[in-house]
Amino acid sequence: MEKYTFESLAEWDREYVWHPFTQMRQYRREEPLIVERGEGSRLVDVQGRSYLDGVSSLWVTVHGHNHPRLNSAIKEQIDRVSHSTLLGLANVPSILLARKLVEITPPGLNKVFYSDAGATSVEIAIKMACQYWRQKDNGQHRDKTRFVSLGEAYHGDTVGSVSVGYSELFHTAYRPLLFESIKIPAPYCYRCPLGESAGSCRMECLAAAERVIAENADGIAALVVEPLVQGAAGMIVQPRGYLSGLAKACRRHNILLIADEVAVGFGRTGTLFACEQEGVCPDLLCTAKGLSGGYLPLAATLTTDEVYSAFLGEHREAKTFFHGHTYTGNPLGCAAALENIRLIEETGLVASVREKAAFLESGLERFSQLPHVGEVRQRGMMVGIELVKERAGREPYPRENSVGHRVTLEARRRGLITRPLGNVIVLMPILSMSMEELKQVLDIAYEAIRVVTEEASP
């Protein structure tokens, strides 16, 4: 293996690598953290320093790094075949995983279409929904081509998934490329877009959504929603009953429901899939991130027999779903996912997440006493801590202050990796973390927030 030093790697990183969602001018001024290996809940850099992985390596790691059973599953599959196309062929792990996904997801989702990332799983769901209406009942519903999604939503970075999301910060640069979608107010109780006060409103955001759906129903193909929590929007936790209310509105107006479970699925919110908590069975469900346990790029879009049947026909009818990816149904990724699901079931992971979520909730109480913490939001093991310059008026820190980024650098110095969403500090611990490790995550995050906000707001 080529010999290298930290200094040479840092130089090459600055010179050759363009990092995602990263302002490279600022990044190049900072000392990089270069990961060399993982050990359970920790990542170790090339200089031998150990860090708790407080964001599950961008919300994907389930059982920890370097897990022996996941390692073995991949190694065993490598000895058989590492990849074969799913275009007109099949492979064993993709078949077994599809059967398992149908078994564990909400009832009615009986067909599985593979891809490689959360964004592509949503892109597929969008295209499926549009083509479904064009082909159903001999094209009688071909005008149903529009999509409804929440304000502040984020569903990935492909053009279609960006179109059904909305973040002024993320999406402005690409507006000329996007198709127009219909927006409903985000249930952002701390900063209610309708001017209501949390705790005293009657869920006006849901009533507003229902009106928009009713007014545009004839042209709507589907509504896209992250169930329970809007992750990249800043960990916006939806009021209880909001998701089921949206689902009922979709049924009432003959609109498909797309559940983007990319971030919230696989135990992250305290049930295997977030939809379960409100008894919602979507028409299409997107999953990725935790699907392979944080090992390999793998995603799946599940749908119903009703949707699938609209694509069945003779070749001359051109009803085929004309979409695919080179690594669709990759055997290594599917083998990792199968072992990941076995581990979830055998270890009782989802039940342990509920216990750990209660521990986190208790430990987060003291954060609200910090003068520059506006709100702490949590569902399961998804946490967002919104920092404000002035609490009484909920005044945000200016973007140029980079307070969120500074907090993550301070946490890193103390041995914790996390990542901000603007002024929101995100904690998404690895689901298998011990209580002691979770306590360390909370202690470090608390001190990092305290130190940086005191400096930023003397």
Amino acid at 189: C
Q: How confident is the model at residue 3 (pLDDT cuts 50, 70, 90)?
A: confident
**Mean pLDDT (the chain, rounded):** 96
Structure tokens at 425: 């500090």
Q: If you ran DSSP here, which 8-state letter would residue 201 be given?
A: S
Convert the pLDDT of each residue in 329-360 to its tens digit. 999 999 999 999 999 999 999 999 999 999 99
**Which residues sit opposite 229 in a β-bridge?**
237
Going from N- to C-terminal start, the domains of the chain cover 33-66+349-456, 72-347
Mean pLDDT value across residues 104-125: 98
N residues, the chain: 458
pLDDT for 202: 81
**Alpha helices (H) along 253-374:** 305-309, 331-347, 349-364
pLDDT in tens, 43-75: 999 999 999 999 999 999 999 999 999 999 999
pLDDT digits (tens, 9 = 90+) for 271-297: 999 999 999 999 999 999 999 999 999
Q: What residues does 395 pair with on adjacent strands?
A: 390
Q: How many Å apart are CA 242 and CA 181, to the nearest integer?
A: 20
pLDDT tier for residue 172 given thresholds of 50, 70 and 90: confident
pLDDT score, position 197? 79
82 — pLDDT class (breaks 50, 70, 90): very high
Summarize pLDDT for 369-419 with one digit per residue, the tens: 999 999 999 999 999 999 999 999 999 999 999 999 999 999 999 999 999
pLDDT of residue 119: 97
Task: Give the residue carrying structure tokens 């064009």.
Answer: 134
CATH no. for 72-347: 3.40.640.10
**Does an H or E element contain 230, and which?**
strand 229-230
How far, CA to CA in Å, does 110 sit from each of 98, 150, 341, 376?
Answer: 9, 27, 18, 38
pLDDT classification of 196: cutoffs 50, 70, 90: confident
pLDDT score, position 112: 98
Give me the pLDDT at residue 458, please: 66
- Range 33-66+349-456 has CATH code 3.90.1150.10: yes
3-state secondary structure of 191: helix
Q: Could you read off the pLDDT of 227-247 as tens digits, one per residue?
A: 999 999 999 999 999 999 999
pLDDT band for 1, please (50, 70, 90 cuts): low
What value does the mean pLDDT take over residues 135-160?
Answer: 94
Distance CA 154, CA 165 (A): 5
Q: Is 47 exposed, middle or buried (0-12, 13-18, 19+ CB in 10 A)?
A: exposed
Domains 33-66+349-456 and 72-347 share a fold: no
Confidence of residue 167 (pLDDT cuts 50, 70, 90): confident
What mean pLDDT is predicted for residues 139-143?
89
